[in-house]
Structure 1
């Protein structure tokens, strides 16, 4: 995928004119002022990557932008459970701290024209997305976090302007290899600070997903953080409520969880009152060793979160047909069952509708020592 930037051409003309015409014709979308993407590329991109593309477009437009919270985490390669509702970046003055609406991605095109544009950009047999995917993400400008003992008002009254230097680091543009945008690097807050500043502001499940990933190194780049690195930034949490939410999420984190689905599953199991299982359990069958996401050791039940993507990803990496991957997984499951263990699987639908997950686990006899929510 390539993002196109409006620029002056060698003949003295400006490419922005042609790009604006392409928006009016339904071939391009405007992500930020002067930054465009082809409609077909946008339609084929999953929602979580659309946020990341908009972060990249913001860099292309504004240059030296320090990204924070979820936007920094996305650039660091940390998986997020929910798609962020804005691009988040730092600003250095009170007057600049606000939400800036995104430009119209489709110009003056009517809803009917947008629907027709999306239909034309959708492959045969694929569902046509709704026009809501062409509603751009705003930019949320946030004042910097402050060290312990420095209040916001005191920082503003300081003679030198008050704000301490923004913690920052540069990430090479190669951290997002699938998107070319004529950008040399992205400026972000350090990973540990971004985690501490983000986790207590999200739901408990979202926070656990982030912590599991960074503590276990299950990020796109393999980057991980240690608890001590996180502790070094917790003095920047400005309220007791945020510190309590942080402590609760950190206490529930487990680096052995290898995917957001596994992390959210553990949260759901606890919410529903089920016994928490052993993670990444090893099962030996004759001369083969298998690993399962979870196992209730005393009950003889193995469980796995099945997000569906592992079949297509495994097929792509191995060169096998997806049906071969599914068959191999069946052989694996049959081998595990041959040990006398039961096997239960669930996916995103059960996590988003916990009553379904509860019914499934009860049918398989998963121990449930207490009622849900207690």
Structure 2
């Protein structure tokens, strides 16, 4: 890149020409010596500084989802360290596409050797838990912990619903082949044993035991946690009914109490991928026919949204209306 090209690229009126995204101050240091012009553009709102010396066109940044924004921060931090340390915990999770049910952190997480200590730099969190070669891999040019190691780390440290959602997604598979497992339960247990001893190991083992390949979404995973915490009987997941000659599956089925629960996120009705070329109205109508067909075959049916599913007390009230009994909690909050 010539000095003239660089200066032209950095003009405010041309900032939106950076459709590919990134501008690195290190790329400009030979021509300009410092990233002062980038800082000025960021100050004027044309660029967004997502990591030290790394910028993106502000309009493009605003188009990103929170997942995409955090992933860019993680990639920026990994690029700055040139692969010297593996990305870990939530930062590895976003690169593997593992969900969490709380906001992504501002910090980027890295794994370091136990003897190195845990001192962290601004915007960086270092975990002195040891690095086993079997737990580290590379993905799209970034050194990071494997899916198995990432899931065990999350199970030991994250809030309960996020930890379960991560385990469930790592194991998930559906009958249509749209979702494939990222790891196996056996691999998770092998990783867990290799890491011993570590803080949170008992909690992590319990969460892996609780995990399932049948959860259809992170909202269902969070709902399943709250069902267990409230002491309701364990439901059957993805139980099949026949409606108008077609097999359909329900999120939660309590056979002994002949009732069904369904958890719907907004994506089912608004996400273009999930709509599959249908309009929201068509999806709502098809869902109504499906629900009516199931209702004719069970004693009780209820539906809740993501916000209700992730709130233990709101979901408890909804399930009590089904007539489900409440017993001791089946899951330790840890």
TM-score by length of 2: 0.81
2:59 corresponds to 1:55: no
Q: 1:3 is matched with which residue?
A: 22
Q: For residues 52-131 of structure 1, what are the structure 2 equivalents within 5 Å? A: 52-64=71-83, 65-85=85-105, 86-91=107-112, 97-101=118-122
Question: Closer, same or farther in 2 for the Cα pair 1:3/1:304, shift >3 Å?
Answer: farther
> Of 249, 256, 277, which residue of structure 2 is paired with 1:319?
277
1: CA distance, partners of 2:291 / 2:111: 49
Q: 2:185 is matched with which residue?
A: 227
- 1:318-371 alpha-carbon deviations (Å, 9 max, x no partner): 222222222221222122223345321112221343221111112232x12426
1: CA distance, partners of 2:30 / 2:158: 50
1: CA distance, partners of 2:151 / 2:30: 47
Q: 1:274 is matched with which residue?
A: 232
What is the alpha-carbon root mean square deviation over aligned residues?
3.0
Question: Closer, same or farther in 2 for the Cα pair 1:325/1:139, shift >3 Å?
Answer: same
Question: Closer, same or farther in 2 for the Cα pair 1:171/1:249, shift >3 Å?
Answer: same
Deviation at residue 268 of structure 1 after TM alignment: 0.3
Question: Closer, same or farther in 2 for the Cα pair 1:84/1:332, shift >3 Å?
Answer: same
Contact 1:274-1:370 within 8 A present in 2 as well: yes
2:152 corresponds to 1:196: yes
2:245 corresponds to 1:291: no
Question: Closer, same or farther in 2 for the Cα pair 1:372/1:250, shift >3 Å?
Answer: closer
Could you list the runs of 5+ residues in structure 2 that have no partner in the other structure? 1-19
2:318 corresponds to 1:368: no
1: CA distance, partners of 2:80 / 2:313: 45
Could you list the runs of 5+ residues in structure 1 that have no partner in the other structure? 102-137, 147-163, 173-184
1: CA distance, partners of 2:290 / 2:272: 15
> Of 15, 32, 47, which residue of structure 2 is paired with 1:28?
47
Deviation at residue 277 of structure 1 after TM alignment: 0.9
> Of 118, 121, 127, which residue of structure 2 is paired with 1:142?
127
2: CA distance, partners of 1:272 / 1:300: 19
Equivalent residue pairs, number: 308
Contact 1:6-1:14 within 8 A present in 2 as well: no
